[in-house]
Amino acid sequence: MLMCFTEDFAGCPFSLFQVTNVVDQRLLSIKPPKFIHRMPRSVLEICHWKTSELKTCFFYYALPVLSGIMRADFYENLKCLITAVTLLNSDDITQVMLDNANMLLKKFVREFEQLYGIEYCSLNLHQLLHLPKCVSDLGNLWVYSCFPYEDLNGRFVKLVHGQTNVDSQIVSSHALILKSKRKFDALPRGEIRDFCHDRKRMVKIIEMLFEGCYSVGKYNHLAEIPGFIRHALRDLNYNKVMTYKRLLKDKKIYVSESYQRDVETVSSYVAFSVNNVVLFGCINTFVKLTECDCINNCQCPGEHYAILDPLVTEGQFQAMGDRRCQIFLPHIFKCFRAEAYNCIPVSRLDTV
């Protein structure tokens, strides 16, 4: 990937140096969700990208951004690599996924020499062929990834506040963190625990909906319900509708489109299940439905839903294996908005 955008290789058939402005236009227009902590940067700075940026580009950005820009044979070769590694990095891996990944990696390595030349065939390229066996013997790729250890190193650095007795500083600071956590876990449910939890997450938690799920930000009572919300709630019984814009669930923040403060990230696109079928949508707002008549400071229990615009899936990226075997990339979909709002219980939401 690095060679494609370097001026030194501008004369090579795989070079994208002449179209870096087109690649940048697509890349820099991406607004990732909040769980991706670094915003996209120009490919002209790719030699200075952090490892996490390269990882994000590999798994999420590369195929959509390079579609129609990279020459078709190089693009198909890249799809083989990304699809294979994605399969091996999945949470649940079947024998079929292992076999497909093995086939794609063999095809990628075989075609790489023909496309790029023998001079670029390094030992690391050959080692890709051993990944399926490593996963079969040791587990999914993420199990022994070095990223968590790099993250731990960053946390350890924050525990050091002086130049002497570094080991003692780390031990005492870590012990203080563990002690604070034990005290927090021992707190009874109530205002004090809610306050501490609020400060810990750095968001304004309003109400715990169920274990691990919280509404974030103030509720707004709707005196007049907009037509699209009324249509989405048409099959439900309620007396009052309150809206809010953010949700914290399973340590991930969901931000509706109606929340205007965050302009760099977009966390409103979600997956949800209906009759065990996974669908996709874009959250417009969150609502709390109650049967009470309270106007101010309502503490009554209610039902919580996401009002979302379903996404119609056009297709997935697919790699072509040997014997014209089509293998779909499991996490990138081509979609468009349906403009037909529905409501989904927040318990069904998942990130995409």
One DSSP character per residue, 164-232 reads S-HHHHHHHHHHHHHHHHHHHHHSPSSHHHHHHHHHHHTS-EEEEEETTEEEES--EE-SS--HHHHHH
- Cβ contacts of 86 within 8 Å, gap of 6 or more: 59, 329, 330, 331
DSSP 110-173: HHHHHHH-GGG--HHHHHGGGHHHHHHHH--GGGG-SHHHHHHHHHHHHT--SSS-HHHHHHHH
On whether the CB atoms of residues 321 and 327 are closer than 8 A, the answer is: yes
* pLDDT of amino acid 201: 54
pLDDT for the residue 93: 94
Instruction: Give the Cα separation of 84 and 76 in Å (integer).
Output: 12
The contacts of residue 58 (CB under 8 Å, 6+ apart) are 1, 82, 85
pLDDT of residue 352: 59
Could you tell me the mean pLDDT of each successive run of 10 residues in the chain, 352 residues long? 83 92 96 90 92 93 95 95 96 94 96 92 94 94 84 82 86 85 81 67 77 90 90 91 93 90 87 86 95 77 94 88 87 88 91 62
Q: Which of 278, 338, 316, 320 is nearest to 64 (CA)?
A: 316
Element (H, E) at 25: helix 20-27
Identify the CA nearest to 289 among candidates 211, 213, 350, 221: 221
Please, which residues have CB within 8 angstroms of residue 147's CB and are 6 or more apart in sequence?
51, 52, 55
pTM of the model: 0.83
Instruction: Indicate the DSSP class of residue 57.
Output: I
- All structural domains of the chain: 3-144 (no CATH), 204-351 (2.30.30)
pLDDT at 181 (0 to 100): 81
